[in-house]
Amino acid sequence: MTVLKWLDEHIEEVFLVMFSAVMVVVIFLQVFMRYVMGNSLSWSEELARYCFIWLVYIGISYGVKKQRHIKVDALLLLFKEKGKLVFNMIANLLFLSFAMFIVIYGYDMAERLLQFGQTSPALRIPMGFVYLAAPVGMALTSIRLIQNLLNQVKTLLGKGNFEVKTEFDRLVDEEG
């Protein structure tokens, strides 16, 4: 059970660090090879680009987990705590429906590309793996949204302590 708890707390961070590290090493290697050795690598830009794509989609899940994803806070400032919570739940339900749409249709697209056998130009990896970034990232995002919604429902029922934080609240906390 501790393994599942650790994965729940750290899965995004592991992938984000891994993809970031690969990008930094590959780009550094490319710069070194081009300017010091006078010869560039044909595959480095492609690998860095694909790592960045995966990084973005996993980063969406991480943003949801930390409640730092893009949202409009101005409307939340008009409500008290329960109003903020209900409004946030509605927003999370809409986001969840969008994420599930991307999971379903993104997986279909990736599966088709894997069946067609299209490969990337330099690395020769199946393009379906690159396109899997969207459904995998949005599936993780869906899990995080469901976790948030469950915590929000518990809070509405008086059994939890989920707090909706706006950027204004974060600024006040940092200054105060």
In 32-58, which positions are buried (b, 16+ CB within 10 angstroms) versus exposed (e)? eeeeeeeeebebbebbbebbebbbebb
103 pLDDT more than 80: yes
For the segment 118-143, what is each residue's pLDDT rounded down to a tens digit? Answer: 999 999 999 999 999 999 999 999 99
**Looking at residue 149, what is its pLDDT?**
95
| DSSP character string of 86-131 | HHHHHHHHHHHHHHHHHHHHHHHHHHHHHHHT-B-TTT--BHHHHH
Burial of 109 (0-12, 13-18, 19+ CB in 10 A): middle
**Looking at residue 168, what is its pLDDT?**
66
Q: How far apart, in whole angstroms, are the C-alpha atoms of residue 77 and residue 171?
A: 13
For the segment 17-50, what is each residue's pLDDT rounded down to a tens digit? Answer: 999 999 999 999 999 999 999 898 989 999 999 9
**Looking at residue 140, what is its pLDDT?**
97
Among 54-68, 143-157, 159-173, the minimum mean pLDDT is found in 159-173
Phi, psi of 44 (to 5 degrees): -65, -45
Domain locations in the chain as residue ranges: 2-175
**Looking at residue 135, what is its pLDDT?**
98
Phi, psi of 152 (to 5 degrees): -70, -40
Given a contact cutoff of 8 angstroms between Cβ atoms, the answer to whether 128 and 113 are in contact is yes
CA distances from 154 to 10, 110, 144, 162 (A): 23, 37, 15, 8
**Looking at residue 48, what is its pLDDT?**
96
**Looking at residue 138, what is its pLDDT?**
98
